[in-house]
Amino acid sequence: MSQTDAASPEGASDDSRRIALARAWVAQDPDPETRVELDELVARVEAGDPEASADLADRFDQRLAFGTAGLRGEIAAGPNRMNRVLVSQAAAGLGAFLLERAPGTTPSVVIGYDGRRNSAVFARDSAEVLSGAGIRAILLPRLLPTPVLAFAVRHLDVSAGIMVTASHNPPNDNGYKVYLGGRDHGSQIVSPSDAEIAAHIAGVAATTLVTDLPRGEFETADESLVDAYVQATAREAGYAPPAQPKVVYTAMHGVGWETAARVLAAAGFDAPALVDAQIQPDAAFPTVSFPNPEEPGAMDLSFERAREVGAELIVANDPDADRLAIAIPDATNAEGYRRLTGNEVGLLLGWRAARKAADETGDGGSDGTLACSIVSSPGLEAIAGAYDLDFEATLTGFKWISRAPNLLFGFEEALGYLVNPGTVRDKDGISAAVAFLSLAAELHATGRTVADHLDEFVERFGCHASGQISLRVTDLSRIGAIMARLRAEPPSEIGGIAVDRIEDLSEGFGALAPSDVLRIFLEGGSRVMVRPSGTEPKLKVYLDVVAHEGTVAERRAAASDTLAQLEAGMRELTA
C-alpha cells in the first residue's frame, strides 16, 4: 500500500492523521523544494498554527480531480496540488489505461510542455514513468505551444498526448492535458475515458510509492515535427497576402512567438511589431495580473505599442498559444483600441470558413459543419443556414467541438478557434491568427477594415451581441448554492424580459451529455446560459441577443439596450 494513503492510528486527531499523511508524502517526493515546504508546514501545525492546520487540511483532505480538463491547480506539495508526486502518479495511471485499452501492443505517448514553472520537470517525469511502464514515450524537443502537441498526436499517430500547461491561469498554477489518438483522432479526453484514467491514477496512488515506479529512457522528437506544424499551419493563409495592415503581436509572456514567427513568415506575412516586454517566455508573467487576454488590463501594453506604430490590428496569443485575441482601432475607446470579443472573432472566422467552403465547390453550395459551444454566439448557426452547412452546438470545450462530424470550423467564446481540423483537433491560436490575418489582408486590399467587415456582418446576419458576467468566488459552495437556487426558483423574467422556457442540462439534453448548465430562452430571441467554470473558481453567465430591424447603427443600439437589461437582471439573480 502507498504510504501516502496509509491510515493513521485509530482515534488520532485530524491534525495527527494529516501530519502522518504529509510525512509519508515527503518520503516519496522527488522534489527537494516541496519536501522542505511540507516539512515546514507540518512544523507550524505541530506548533499550533491554525492557518497552517487549515492549509494542511486543504492539501490532504482531497485529491486534485482528474477529469475531461485533465489536471490543473496550484504548484505545491500534497495530493490537492500540482507537484512531481501527483504528476508521476498521473503518468503511471495513464500508462495503465493505455496498456489496458490495447492489450498486446506497445502504446506510444508524445509529451509537450510550455514555459510555466516546473513544466519541463513534469514533462520529463511523465516521459520517464511512461517509458518505465513499457510505453514508447516521445518528448517534444523544447518548450512549445499546445497546438504543436495537439498536432503531434495526429502527425506521429501515437496512442496519446500529454501537454503540461495551465494555459492562462495565474503564475503559480500548472496543469496536465491529455489527448487520445486512434479512434479519438487526437482530441482531448471525454467521458468515459476520463473516469477510467482517474481510476487507474487512484489505484497507483493507493498501492505504489512514486519512488518505486520504474523509470526508463525516452525519445526526443526531431525538429522536423515542428517544421511540419509550421508548414501545415502556414497553408491556412491559402496564398500570399495581396496587401497587409500594420500589426502588433504579443505572446503574453508565453511560448507562442518563436513558432508564430516562423508560421507567419512561411505564410508570406510581414513581421509584426512586437510587445517586447511580453515576447519571451517568463513564468512570472511580470507585466499582467492574469496572463489572459480577456482580463482587464492584460492588453494595455499591446495598445501602447499599437499607438506607437499606428497599428491597424493587434494579435495576441495566451501563454500556451492555443487562444487568440484580436484588437482593432476604436476612436471611442480611451486607449484608441478595443479587443474584439471571442464571439466577434469566431463569427468572422466562421463566415470566412463558410465562404471558403462555398468557393471550393464552385457552384455556391457547400458541405460540412460549423460548430461552437452552447455558450457561444448563435450567430454561427445563422451563417451555417445561409451557406447550407450543417451546424452543431456542443458542450463547452474543444474536446466536444473537435468531435463534430465533418467539421469545417469550430469556436468557443473564450477566444478559442479551430480553423484546421485536418491537422489539429483542438483550439489553435497560431493557425487562427493566420486565418484572421489572411482575412484582414483581403479587406485591406479593397480598402476595407475589420470594423467595416463587422458592419457587413450585422447588415447580412443581424446584430448578434453577447455579454458575460464572471463571478469569481473564494468559497466554491457559493456557486453550487446559486445554481441550486436558480433551479428551485426559476425566474419568470430577467431584466423585465419574459422567460419563454428553461432547459436544465444536468440530466443531459438531446445529444448533449449531462452538464451543470442552465439554458434560459427569453421572448424576442435572447438567451442566457449559466454554468460553473470548468477551470477556475467562477460562475459564468453568458448573454446573447439579436437585433434584425433597422440600420446597422439601430440594430447595434437595440442589441446593446437588451444586453444591459439582461445583465442587470442576472446580476440581481446571482447576487
> Which residues are catalytic, by number?
167
Give the whole-angstrom CA distance, residue 453 versus residue 455: 5
| Short-list 486, 476, 478, 560, CA closest to 529 | 486
User: Would you call 156 helix, strand, or coil by DSSP?
Assistant: coil
Number of residues that make up the chain: 575
Crossing angle, helix 342-361 and helix 379-386, to 10 degrees?
Answer: 10
Give the Cα-Cα-Cα angle 468, 474, 478 (nearest 5 degrees). Answer: 70
Helix (H) or strand (E) holding 310: none
Strands 187-188 and 337-339 turn out to be unpaired
Give the Cα-Cα-Cα angle 263, 266, 271 (nearest 5 degrees). Answer: 75
Output Rg (C-alpha) for the chain, integer angstroms. Answer: 24
Alpha carbon distance, N-terminus to C-terminus of the chain: 47
Show the beta-strand stretches assigned E in 243-389.
247-250, 273-274, 313-317, 324-329, 337-339, 369-373
Give the Cα-Cα-Cα angle 51, 55, 56 (nearest 5 degrees). Answer: 120
